Structures are given as C-alpha cells and as structure tokens.
C-alpha cells in the first residue's frame, strides 16, 4: 500500500487512475466477491450520505455515468471509496496464475 503522505499530494486525475486500477485488479481477483462487497458498501454509503450521487468515485465504483458535472471527488475518512478499495486489496487474495 502506498504512503498516505504521498497520496495526499496526488491530483484528482492520479487518484482516479489509481482507484480504477485497484477496482479493475479486484474484479480480476474475484468478480462475485467484490460485487457483494460493493453492494454492502453502497447500501451503507446511501444511508449515511444523502448526497452520494454528487461524488465522482461513487459513480466510478458502481459503473454509472452521472448526468451532470460532479464537484465532489470522494467521501471523507472511513467512508471513502479509496479506503474501501484499499481494504479489499488487503482482504481479497490475488488471483492464482
């Protein structure tokens, strides 16, 4: 996992690129397990954040296309999509090659 101090200085584009790479790697590891984890995570986010549709990373995670330009990148703290993806990277074993 990358150093949190380094991550603090990433541009939005760099954060998005890293998030997409993690998401795609996780899908390759185990699509079904990841989908189940995403469903649980999204249900929690929707309950906590009524403005969830305003977050770019939310749409990236669920694979939707927003109908308007979004101003918010990711949720804060434990609710962040990046935090969710990093946790999944640690917990979901790599695919056997």
Q: What is the pLDDT of residues 41-73, one digit of tens each?
A: 999 999 999 999 999 999 999 999 888 889 899
The pLDDT value recorded for residue 3 is 47
Residue 94 located in a structural domain: no
Q: Mean of the pLDDT values across residues 28-48?
A: 95
Which residue did the predictor score with more confidence, 46 or 97? Answer: 46
Q: Contact, 24 vs 86, CB < 8 A?
A: no
Count how many domains the chain has. Answer: 1
The verdict on residue 72 lying in a domain is yes
Residues recorded for the chain: 97
C-alpha 7/C-alpha 73 separation (Å) is 14
Predicted local distance difference test score (pLDDT) of residue 23: 94
- Non-local (6+) Cβ contacts of 18 within 8 A are 2, 10, 82
For residue 25, give its domain range.
Answer: 12-87
Banded pLDDT at 95 (limits 50, 70, 90): confident
Supply the pTM of this predicted model: 0.84
């Amino acid at each position: 996992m990358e150093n949190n101090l380094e991550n603090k200085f990433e541009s939005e584009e760099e954060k998005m690129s890293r998030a997409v790479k993690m998401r795609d790697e996780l899908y390759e590891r185990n699509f079904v397990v990841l989908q189940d984890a995403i469903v649980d995570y999204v249900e929690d986010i929707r309950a906590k954040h009524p403005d969830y549709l305003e977050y770019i990373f939310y749409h990236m995670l669920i694979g939707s296309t927003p109908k308007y330009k979004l101003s918010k990148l990711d949720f804060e703290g434990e609710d962040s999509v990046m935090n969710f993806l990093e946790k999944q990277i640690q917990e979901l074993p790599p695919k056997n090659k």
